[in-house]
Amino acid sequence: MDSSYFAVQRRALEIVGFDPSSPQLRLKHPIWAGILVLSLVSHNWPMAVYALQDLSDLTRLTDNFAVFMQGSLSTFKFLAIVAKRRRIGSLIHRLHKLNEEAAATTNQLEKLERENQLDRYVSRSFRNAAYGVIWASAIAPMLIGLLGYIRTGLFTPTTPMEFNFWLDERNPKFYWPIYVWGVLGVAAAAWLAIATDTLFSWLIHNVVVQFQLLELHLKKKDQTQGDVHLTQSIHRHRLALELAKELSSIFAEIVFVKYMLSYLQLCMLAFRFSRSGWSAQVPFRATFLVAIIIQLSSYCYGGEYLKQQSLGIAQVVYDNCNWPEMEPKQRRLWQMMIMRAQRPAKIFGYMFNVDLPLLLWVIRTAGSFLAMLRTFERSPA
């Protein structure tokens, strides 16, 4: 495997304080991780307080709650990863070992490289979008302040987001601490999200690889070792299903909370853009919306990909068995494998499966809530 293998995930985990080389995914820098969570929480709750001060102002309410939800979600994700770090580390190293064994064969190595290339496309897209959010929150206030200075000769302080501080940002000596604190809060949310979501992408693609390697094994035409071939196929199938089940169990709480909040985030961001003029917050909101869309799509795409790949095993078994010449005992065992493959592996979030229909449901529900908000906006006070 080349140097880009697991590179995005390794770097993201290191940034938030984990040691990805440890089989237990040890939290190597707990103090730094605590600082990130503290900055995120201390940055998040004032936004909720600010939003709730005037419930009649829908723009301010939706503007702040969309970011508040993402900050809360990033915090929850990180705490879930910390709580399950031993299971996650065990799954990562188990997949690493399986990949090393498979890389010894040329056709299997091609499958591994292809799936990890797909993961890099997804992970880098989300990572770049998340870093775009950080840069937008840091640069936009400076540019607007600079333009104001060029026009009026006075630098007018602006912050990455509008919310209540215990310090007055209009006071020059307080502006820079507030500005740095705001950017750090955004960066903490982005880093924690990158670590969790890119890890999910890598895990889903490398679990899918196990089903693809099973397909290669099933296509072998070695009739002299029928019993051995059958035993190995069943073992590989059970292994792939077990890995998929463990992945689903690890991320169940994360995907449940994510998709319970996602449609609210989307409708609030869409409502904010429908009301927004130009300000220091517009670049931040735009990059934030792009990151949210990529984040939601990557989970649903991964769940759908896993489901379809596991379902495809049934057809491969049927196509590559010599049914007329097979002994009845072997035929029954192969039929049982087909029947099991017809129940797909899936990512389950307690109340729903994570797949493309879920993404469609999120978009439709977000549209319904957006229409409701617009109705409230037009209704007389």
Residue 230 has pLDDT above 90, yes or no: no
Rounded Cα distance, 59 and 313, in Å: 50
Helix ranges (DSSP H) in 103-225: 106-152, 172-218
Residue 80 has pLDDT above 50, yes or no: yes
pLDDT at position 289, please? 85
pLDDT at position 249, please? 95
Average pLDDT of every residue of the chain: 86
Which range among 152-161, 197-206, 222-231, 262-271 shows the weakest confidence by mean pLDDT?
222-231
C-alpha to C-alpha distances, 304 to 249, 308, 357, 363, nearest whole angstrom:
16, 6, 9, 17
Residues counted in the chain: 381
Rounded Cα distance, 193 and 187, in Å: 10
Mean pLDDT of 317-324: 87
Compute the CA torsion angle 132, 156, 65, 75 (nearest 10 deg): 50
Amino acid at 299: Y
Q: Which residue has the higher pLDDT, 39 or 58?
A: 39
Q: Which residue has the higher pLDDT, 226 or 289?
A: 289
Is residue 312 packed enough to be buried (19+ CB in 10 Å), middle (13-18) or exposed (0-12)?
Answer: middle
Q: Which long-range contacts (CB under 8 A, 24 or more apart) does 137-145 make?
A: 137/161, 137/182, 137/183, 137/186, 137/284, 138/183, 139/283, 140/280, 140/281, 140/282, 140/283, 140/284, 141/179, 141/280, 144/279, 144/280
Q: Which residue has the higher pLDDT, 33 or 141?
A: 33
Mean pLDDT of 207-226: 81
Rounded Cα distance, 6 and 162, in Å: 37
pLDDT at position 223, please? 46
User: Encoding tokens for residue 300?
Assistant: 């649903």
pLDDT at position 221, please? 63
Paired strand residues for 353: 348
Mean pLDDT of 149-178: 71
Mean pLDDT of 253-260: 91
Q: Which residue has the higher pLDDT, 344 or 148?
A: 344
Mean pLDDT of 208-218: 93
pLDDT at position 78, please? 92
Q: What percent of the chain has a predicted confidence (pLDDT) above 90?
A: 47
Residue 224 has pLDDT above 70, yes or no: no
Amino acid at 170: R
Mean pLDDT of 81-103: 94
Residue 284 has pLDDT above 80, yes or no: no
pLDDT at position 204, please? 96
Residue 218: name the closest of 316, 309, 308 by CA. 316
Q: What does the pLDDT look like over 90-100, one tens digit per residue?
A: 999 999 999 99
Residue 87 has pLDDT above 80, yes or no: yes
Mean pLDDT of 21-27: 90
Mean pLDDT of 105-111: 91
User: Encoding tokens for residue 294?
Assistant: 């990529």
Residue 169 has pLDDT above 70, yes or no: no
Residue 56 has pLDDT above 80, yes or no: no
Three-state DSSP at 380 gives coil
Q: What does the pLDDT look like over 125-147, one tens digit per residue?
A: 999 999 998 998 888 788 877 87
Q: What percent of the chain has a predicted confidence (pLDDT) above 70?
A: 89
pLDDT at position 225, please? 58
Q: What does the pLDDT look like over 170-191, one tens digit per residue?
A: 666 777 787 888 888 889 999 9
Mean pLDDT of 253-269: 87
pLDDT at position 98, please? 94
In angstroms and rounded to an integer, the radius of gyration of the C-alpha atoms of the chain is 25
pLDDT at position 347, please? 94
Residue 352 CB: number of other CB atoms within 10 A? 16
